[in-house]
Amino acid sequence: MTGRERIRQALSHTEPDRVPLDFGATPTTGIAAAVVYRLRKALGLDGPVKVVEPYQMLGEVDEELRRELGVDAVGVAKSANMFGFRNEDWKPWTLFDGTPVLVPGKFNTEPEPNGDILMYPEGDRSAPPSGRMPEGGFYFDAIIRQPPIEAENLNVEDNLEEFGPIPPGEVAHLRAETERLAGTGAALVGNFADAGFGDIALVPAPSLKHPRGIRDIEEWYVSTVSRRDYVRAVFDGQCEAALENLSRIHEAVGEQIDVLFVTGTDFGTQRGPFISPADYSDLYQPFHKRINDWVHDNTTWKTFIHSCGGVEPLIGDFLEAGFDILNPVQCSAAGMDPHHLKRTYGDEVTFWGGGVDTQKTLPFGTPQQVREEVKRRVEVFADDGGFVFNSIHNVQANTPIENVLAMLEAFEESR
């Protein structure tokens, strides 16, 4: 089986020849650049590592590494990253831990006097910085650039600046990337929906030079209650733009795309949901359903929702909204017992993730503990298909390479 065939069969809830594997196909199933570098070294692979997602400092899982690991999926992304500049004109840089990498040409590599690294929207250093990596850090935090809010002057359009019509050149880029990657035999995951309603990583708009509207994280969360009509109007405008753009993209890429990453908005904490099912159904579900209904009515794509935390009380609502895939399957959170999830929802949703805990086991456990957890998770989730192996969110930068190798070895033995 090819990777595409394997994942399509898993998505149809039929066991493929072996359990599919993903690393690097989405912004939430990746590997930190430092770990990619050490992994390549351990596998005897030469060549530099590109930082393809600077916000989270994720490394490229390229075709060579995908073949070596047996990865079955690859992402199709827009030309610009989360800071709004293109991944091109690569130049060398060194991470704080000494790892040599390549970063895009507009990535700022000059530290501040205190050692921090500031990142600028569109790579324009004449604009206020939109991201900060503290000295010794692993990734960037958004810098809040919230102007004073005058409630009477709030304009919905200000919160829609980044959600306009997709330019023809961007459609051409996605077409070319899709055609290039289709030849790999891997399942293609589209990372171009722009339908992450309220995705808190995007609310501060790190790609915009001078964001307007509600851009402070705390203010945004408060506004989902105190200014719900405003937030709903923002979501409505974002949804209309997303549907129009998806139609244009679909015309260009057709059914070569297998999965659409729809949303990365988090609805859970370690202790359970931080939004009630009633509030999810009122504010978010209608827009999720509009996107999913369009996708299912007009394409063969499957739809992917990422939400960290203990979201078990919301999974039924996610399914009613039409999602086919749940990620990252945070089994360490309240209510997210793997056996319960598989038994209760396994016939309706594909679990994409859940393979090993990236909070404790993978970074801080022993290799043997990693092996045991991986084998347990595969045994539970793989039965009757509906499972794509990935760690629970991105593999973090301080993860020992011995544990990463133990994860991959245990998975290969179990798949």
What is the pLDDT averaged over residues 346-359? 98
Read off the CATH number of the domain in which 327 is found: 3.20.20.210
Distance CA 162, CA 156 (A): 12
What is the pLDDT averaged over residues 279-290? 98
The tens digit of pLDDT for each residue in 48-63 reads 999 999 999 999 999 9
Q: What is the pTM of this model?
A: 0.97
Residue 127 domain-assigned? no
Please determine, for residue 11, whether its predicted confidence score (pLDDT) is greater than 90.
yes
Which range of residues forms the domain containing residue 323?
3-30+67-81+154-414
331 with 338: CB under 8 angstroms?
yes
Residue 115 domain-assigned? no
Report how many domains make up the chain: 1
Please determine, for residue 151, whether its predicted confidence score (pLDDT) is greater than 90.
no
Distance CA 259, CA 6 (A): 13
The per-residue pLDDT for 162 is 96
Please determine, for residue 352, whether its predicted confidence score (pLDDT) is greater than 90.
yes
Residue 147: pLDDT band (50, 70, 90) is: confident
The tens digit of pLDDT for each residue in 111-135 reads 999 999 999 999 999 999 999 999 9
Please determine, for residue 1, whether its predicted confidence score (pLDDT) is greater than 90.
yes
Residue 350 domain-assigned? yes
Residue 106 domain-assigned? no
Question: Which candidate, 17, 162, 184, places its Cα nearest to that of 78?
Answer: 162
CA dihedral 343, 344, 346, 350 (to 10 degrees): -140
Residue 143 domain-assigned? no
Residue 126 domain-assigned? no
Question: Which candidate, 164, 53, 46, 55, places its Cα nearest to that of 100?
Answer: 46
Residue 52 φ then ψ, to 5° = -90, -15
What is the pLDDT averaged over residues 243-261? 98
Residue 149 domain-assigned? no
Residue 189 domain-assigned? yes
**Residue found under tokens 């301080």:** 398
3-state secondary structure the chain: CCHHHHHHHHHCCCCCCCCCECCCCCCCCCEEHHHHHHHHHHCCCCCCCEEEECCCCEECCCHHHHHHHCCCEEEEECCECCCCCECCCCEEEECCCCCEEEECCCCCCCCCCCCCEEECHHHCCCCCCCEEECCCCCCCEECCCCCCCCHHHCCHHHHHCCCCCCCHHHHHHHHHHHHHHHCCCCEEEEECCCCCCCCCCCCCCCCCCCCCCCCCHHHHHHHHHHCHHHHHHHHHHHHHHHHHHHHHHHHHHHHHCCEEEEECCCCEECCEECCCHHHHHHHHHHHHHHHHHHHHHHCCCEEEEECCCCCHHHHHHHHHCCCCEEECCCCCCCCCCHHHHHHHHCCCCEEECCCCCCCCHHHHCCHHHHHHHHHHHHHHHCCCCCEEECCCCCECCCCCHHHHHHHHHHHHHHC
Please determine, for residue 18, whether its predicted confidence score (pLDDT) is greater than 90.
yes
